[in-house]
Amino acid sequence: MEERNLIITYRFDRATIQELCTQLEPDLMSAIRHPTGIPPQVQVLSVLHFLASGSFQTTVAMASASSQPMFSNVLSRVLSALLKHTRSYIVFPQVEDLPTVKRDFYALGHIPNIIGAIDGTHVALVPPHRSEQVYRNRKSYHSMNVQMVCLSDQYISHVNAMFPGSVHDAYIMRNSSIPYVMGQLQRQRVRLLGESGYPNLSWLLTPVRNPRSRAEERYNEAHGRTRRVIERTFGLLKARFRCLHMTGGYLFYSPKKVCQIIVACCMLHNFALVQQVPFLQEDGPDGGVVAAVEHGDSDDEEAEQRKIA
């Protein structure tokens, strides 16, 4: 398969796929001891295709001699192997990184001391019957509400995918590791940027509500220019891994498994950035969907659908 087609199908080029397989192989080797064992590379490629396309049936058809139950086992195995590397793939800026991170954010909107943009995005799922309402979000579909923090280059430095869609962004933030992490950096006088649904804190800057002066308007404009990077990050993440976007269908897994899928996609998103693998748009009738999603718009799926139309 040509490099371009590899990237379109699996989201990674040949060298990066090989590197990923090498990292995960120790945890995947046990599977090939069974009579119907699947080689580690085939396991990884099957899962990458599912994450990229969101199509369970297509992935099963592509995987040689694979069945739905067999692929479900492969998915669990590969996710487990990936999640062992979470701390290597998703890293919050360390003290020694702060000068560079602040400089790069300052270039976006000229707001000093920013080290991240925070927001939530929704990933659709088929909810458990017993707690269906907990997963219904304000857009009236079922989801996980996923909190992320990103850097100026769209690297995801934090993800929390544990909360159902009905939970407010501010509640998730308060009950995540972010207040503790930012408290540890208090002496560095660094801040995150968040939208107006978050509280305005010493380490979290939000827009001025009802600005009354040109200075406040300019601040809001600079805030918006800088914070927009998190929306672009959501867009690129969901374009690269269509299983996370509604155009890829609802995830038909338990909330725990959906959480694992989301974190794994964030890890792979960062891996692609670090390895400088380009995002290539699919050719064909739905290519416009991917192009529209890439621009992102936080958790507003309706806005994305308007762009697609």
- 216 has a pLDDT exceeding 70: yes
DSSP 37: -
- Which residues have C-beta within 8 Å of that of residue 177, sequence separation ≥ 6? 158, 160
What is the model's pLDDT at position 247? Answer: 83
Q: Does 145 have pLDDT greater than 50? A: yes
Kindly indicate the confidence band of residue 61, based on its pLDDT and cuts at 50, 70 and 90: low
Asked if the model's pLDDT at residue 297 lies above 70, the reply is no
Q: Are residues 104 and 47 in the same domain?
A: no
Q: What mean pLDDT is predicted for residues 104-112?
A: 98
Residues 73 and 94 grouped into a single domain: no
Segment 105-113 shows an average pLDDT of: 98
pLDDT at 261: 98
Residues 98 and 133 in one domain: yes
- Kindly give the pairing relationship between strand 114-124 and strand 191-193: parallel
Domain identity same for 119 and 222: yes
Instruction: State residue 306's pLDDT score.
Output: 30
> Please, what is the average pLDDT of the chain?
88
Amino acid at 129: H
Q: Do residues 4 and 255 lie in contact, with contact meaning Cβ atoms separated by under 8 Å? A: no
- The residue assigned the tokens 């099963």 is 60
- Confidence at residue 226, expressed as pLDDT on a 0 to 100 scale: 98
- In a domain? residue 206: yes
Q: Is the pLDDT of residue 118 over 70?
A: yes
Same domain, yes or no, for 150 and 215?
A: yes
Q: Out of 67, 84, 101, pick the residue that ends a domain.
A: 84
Both 139 and 249 in one domain: the answer is: yes
Q: Are 148 and 123 in contact (CB under 8 A)?
A: no
- Check if the beta carbon of residue 149 is closer than 8 Å to that of residue 229: no
Q: Same structural domain for residues 228 and 159? A: yes
| Number of domains composing the chain | 2
Residues 113 and 219 in one domain: yes
Which range of residues forms the domain containing residue 153? 90-253
Q: Is residue 109 part of a domain?
A: yes
Residues 43 and 170 in one domain: no
Domain stops at, among 52, 84, 116: 84
Bigger pLDDT: 291 or 111?
A: 111
Q: What's the half-sphere exposure (Cβ side, CA atoms, 13 Å) at 104?
A: 16
Q: How far apart are CA 80 and CA 97, in angstroms?
A: 29
Q: What is the mean pLDDT of residues 273-286?
A: 79
pLDDT number for residue 82:
97
Our CA angle for 41, 47, 50, nearest 5°, is 140
pLDDT (mean) for 32-54: 83
Instruction: Please tell me the distance from the alpha carbon of residue 178 to that of residue 193, in angstroms, as a whole number.
Output: 12
DSSP sequence for 198-261: S--BTTEE-PPSS--SHHHHHHHHHHHHHHHHHHHHHHHHHHH-GGGSGGG--B-S-HHHHHHH
Same domain, 225 and 247: yes
The confidence score (pLDDT) of residue 50 equals 94
Shared-domain flag, residues 100 and 20: no
Quick one: pLDDT band at residue 33, thresholds 50, 70, 90? low
Dihedral sign computed on CA atoms, order 177, 181, 186, 188:
negative
Contact at 8 Å (CB) between 93 and 115?
yes
Question: Is pLDDT at 287 greater than 90 in this prediction?
Answer: no
DSSP secondary structure, 44-112, as one string: HHHHHHHHHH--HHHHHHHSTT--HHHHHHHHHHHHHHHHTTHHHHS-PPPGGGHHHHHHHHHHHH--T
Q: Do 40 and 100 reside in the same domain of the chain?
A: no
Cα distances (Å, whole numbers) of residue 29 to 34, 51, 52, 308: 10, 21, 23, 42
pLDDT in tens, 7-18: 999 999 999 999
Q: Is residue 211 part of a domain?
A: yes
